[in-house]
Amino acid sequence: MEEKENLIVAPYIRVSTDRQAKDGDSLDEQESELKKFCDYRGFKIHKLYIERGKSGGNTNRPEYQALIKAVRDGKIQAVVVKKIDRLSRSLLDFEDFMKLLQEKNIEFISIKENFDTTTALGKAMLRVALVFAQLEREQTSERLIDVFNYRASQGLYNGGVRPFGYTNVNKELVPYPKEKIIIEQIFHKFCDLKSTTQVAKFLNETGYRNRQNKLWDKREVFKILHRPIYKGFVSWNDKLYQGIHQPIISEKIFDQVQLVFQDKIKYQADTKTNALLQRLIFCGCCNSIMTPSHSLNRHKQKYFYYRCTSTQNAEKATSKCEFKYVPMAQLDQFLLEFLLSLSNESYWTPIELKILKHNQQIEIKAQAIKEEIRIIESKLQAIKDKKDQYLDTLILKSFNQSERQLINKRIEDMELEDKQLKGGLYKQEFELTKLEEEKVNIIEFKKIFVMFKADYEILSAYQKKEFILNHIKSIIYFPDRVSINLKLLPWPLDHYFKEARI
C-alpha cells in the first residue's frame, strides 16, 4: 500500500486518573511519540486533542466530543492514537466512531498495534483487538463486583457518599455525634408524629440543618427512615447483611417506623370499606386473617361481617375452622368501647401495676449493664493513664533501640486492648438503649387514651380508623373474647364479650 503524505491529522491522547505516569502511557510520553510519528510520516497536525483524567468506558469526554466535531466538519483526514484503548474501551462506542470515520472517508491509525484502516486486513485485526480490550474491561468489572459482594457479605460498607449520621475512620463507619443526634430525633419523632413533613418541620424549627447546612425537607427524612444502615445492616444488590458498624437506631424502633409506613399504605387501600379492623383481625382458631365480606338478607340489604379467609375459597371448603365469621358492626363497636375503657380507673389500675412491674424488671437489667459500662470505662481510663506514662517515659528518658521497641510494643498492645474495650462499651451502650426503649411510658400511654375518649364524639370515621391503625398491631378473635396487641405494650390485652358470643 502506498503511504499517504501531507494528511491533516488529529492525534488523540488520553490518560485515566489511575494510569497517569504509569506503563508508558503518561500524557507527555504519548504526545512526544505521536508528534514523532506524524513528523516521520509527513502528516500535518490540525490539533492535539488531550484528555486528562477521563475514563475510556464512555464517550462523555470533552476532547473526544471536540474530535467528533472536527470529523463531522471535515477538518481532518485521519485520527492517530498511540493505542486503541486510549480512544475507547467500549466496543459499541468504537464501532460507532469507526462508522462515522468511514462515512467521512477518514483514516484511523494506531501506532502500538500497527493498524491502518486503509487495508481490509487492518480493519479486521482492528476489530479483533478491540474485542479483547472490551473483554479485559468486563473481566475487571466482574472482579470488582465479586469484591463488593464479598465485602457486603462480611458486613462492610462499600463506600460512596457516607450516610448522614456517620463518619469514616480507617475505612469503617463510625457514628458522628453531631449528626447521630439528628438521626435519633428523626426516627423517634416520626414514631410520634407519623409524618415526614411534620418531622422536617420539627427539625427546622429546632435549628437542625442537613450536611449542606440547609433546611430539611420531607424527601430527605423519608430516605433516612428507610435506610437499614441505621439499624446496623448493610444493603447491597437488594440484599441485607449484618454490618460490623455500630447501629444508631435499634431494630425495634426501625421496624416501628416501617410499620407506620405500611399502615399508611394499608389505610389508603382500605378506603373503599368502612371496616375499622380490616387487615388487623385474625382468627383465633386457625390464625388466618379475617377479611370484610357481605351477603344479602331477605330484604335484599347488605349484611357485613368479618370472615375467616380459610373458609372463603371453594378449594378450601374442607376447612375445619370453627369461628368462620363475626358481625362487623358489633365487633367494630366492641373494639371502640374497649379503647374508650382504657382511660377508666377500674380498667386502668391492673394495667398500670403490670407496666410498673415490667419497667422494674427492665431497670434491674439496665443497672447490671450500667455497672458493666462503669467497669469498662474504668479499665479504659487505666489504659489511658498507663499509656500516657509510657509516652512520657519515652520523651523524658534515654533508651537503647531494644528498650524502645519493647516500650512501643507495650503501647501497641494497650491500644489494641483499648479498641477491644471500646467495642464492648459500644455494645453495652446499645443494649442499654434497647432496654430503655422497651420501657412503657405510663403517662404517655394513659394520655393517648384519655385524649381519644375526650375527642371521640368529634372524630370522623377516618380519624377513628387512623387511631386504631396507629395504636394496634393485631386483634385475635375468639368466640368469648378478643385479644388486642397494642403497639405500646409488649403483651396482649384480653377483652371479654358480655354475651357468650358476638
How far is residue 70 from each of residues 38, 101, 124, 452, measured CA to CA in Å?
18, 11, 25, 75
| CATH class in words for 348-443 | mainly alpha
Segments of the chain assigned to CATH 1.10.287: 348-443
90-140 pLDDT per residue, tens = 766 777 788 788 889 898 888 887 776 656 676 676 667 666 656 666 666
Segments of the chain assigned to CATH 3.90.1750.20: 166-269
16 is catalytic: yes
8-151: CATH number: 3.40.50.1390
Partners of residue 474 on adjacent β-strands: 485
Average pLDDT of span 232-244:
82
pLDDT for residue 21? 44
pLDDT at 291 over 70: yes
Segments of the chain assigned to CATH 3.40.50.1390: 8-151
Measured between alpha carbons, how far apart are the two ends of the chain, in Å? 100
**What is the share, in percent, of the chain residues with pLDDT greater than 70?**
85
| pTM of the predicted structure, to 2 decimals | 0.46
Mean pLDDT of the chain: 83
Q: pLDDT-derived band of residue 168, with 50, 70 and 90 as boundaries?
A: confident
* Residue 414: strand, helix, or coil: helix
Of 62-71, 103-112, 483-492, the poorest mean pLDDT is in 103-112
166-269: CATH number: 3.90.1750.20
10-24 pLDDT per residue, tens = 999 988 765 454 444
Pairing of strands 78-81, 8-15: parallel
pLDDT for residue 9? 92
Backbone dihedral angles phi then psi of residue 80, each to the nearest 5 degrees: -125, 130
Of 24-33, 225-234, 427-436, the poorest mean pLDDT is in 24-33
